[in-house]
Structure 1
Amino acid sequence: MSRRVAREKALQSLYQIDMADVPVEEAIRHVTEDGGLKDLSFLRKLVMGTEANLKRIDAVIGQYASGWELDRMASVDRNVLRLAVYELLHETDVPVSVVINEAVELAKAFSTPESGKFVNGVLGKIIRDLDILKGSQTNE
């Protein structure tokens, strides 16, 4: 499975978890039930990592999404941001530009055309302080 497809499936899983309180494994199984996917390791890492760090991720998003409360955001946008923030903070082998580009594309594909701009704006603010955010993570 390509990383792009894994991110799409991860977003779909996170959306199910967020909206219907579906257990992580069930959400992953549901989005991959069509079969044909060989390696689910990156998908699992994204979903499980995002869920395991959700409190911290939501705090970061809340801090940088000025004027927006998480529960007032479109659920797709919220979960695109969660996935991207997880990758920015924890997947150090993925270039920042790739994470942002993928997040913007996911937002445009699964939400509204304006969502891409919104996601890009929030992530742009976050990456300005990324080194600080990564550093504060180790102190928690």
Structure 2
Amino acid sequence: MRKRTKARQLSLQVLYQMDLTSDFSDKVLNDFWVNRKEEVEPEIKQFTSELVEGIRQERESIDSKIAKYAKNWELKRMAIVDRNILRQACYELLYRPDIPYKVAINEAIDLAKRFSGEEAGKFVNGILDKIRLKALEKK
């Protein structure tokens, strides 16, 4: 598994825990690293932390973008996994110009298929493609 793919999976685990407990403090990320049984390579840990911290800082903006393009879906009614995959990919699309759109979207689709199911992959792809197109219009 590629390092950034692994980091995205770890980030999703942290975001899931934050969302489930409604605790978006940095304590959750710190506890996650302390309680890990297996060692994580520094590069993976760094990228995971960057994703989680960035999403924490921009969560309101990210959530409003997702809500805008998720027609007939309230954010709070989405599956927690899907919601956080969308948050992560949306953050990458909007705030990480170093990550190509195609990579962010494909990684999100793969995560959705793996952790939520085939239909979730289509759902995530549809929303992220709309966000991507709108972001490209602004450039």
Q: Within 5 Å, give how 1:112-131 maps onto structure 2.
A: 112-131=117-136
**Count of aligned positions:** 134
Identity among equivalent positions (%) equals 43
Instruction: Kindly state the Cα deviation for residue 29 of structure 1 after the two structures are TM-superposed.
Output: 3.7
Contact 1:14 1:47 in 2 (8 A): yes
Q: Structure 2 stretches of 5 or more lacking a match?
A: none
Q: Within 5 Å, give how 1:1-140 maps onto structure 2.
A: 2-22=3-23, 23-27=25-29, 29-30=31-32, 33-39=36-42, 40-132=45-137
TM-score for both structures, normalised by structure 2:
0.88
Contact 1:107 1:116 in 2 (8 A): yes
SS at match of 1:36: coil
| RMSD of Structure 2 on Structure 1 (CA) | 1.8
CA gap of 1:6–1:15, structure 2 versus 1, over 3 A, is: same
TM-score for both structures, normalised by structure 1:
0.88
Residue type matched to 1:14 in 2? L
Contact 2:18 2:28 in 1 (8 A): no
Q: Distance in 2 between matches of 1:7 and 1:83?
A: 8
Q: Distance in 2 between matches of 1:28 and 1:70?
A: 26
Structure 1 stretches of at least 4 aligned residues deviating more than 6 Å after TM superposition: none
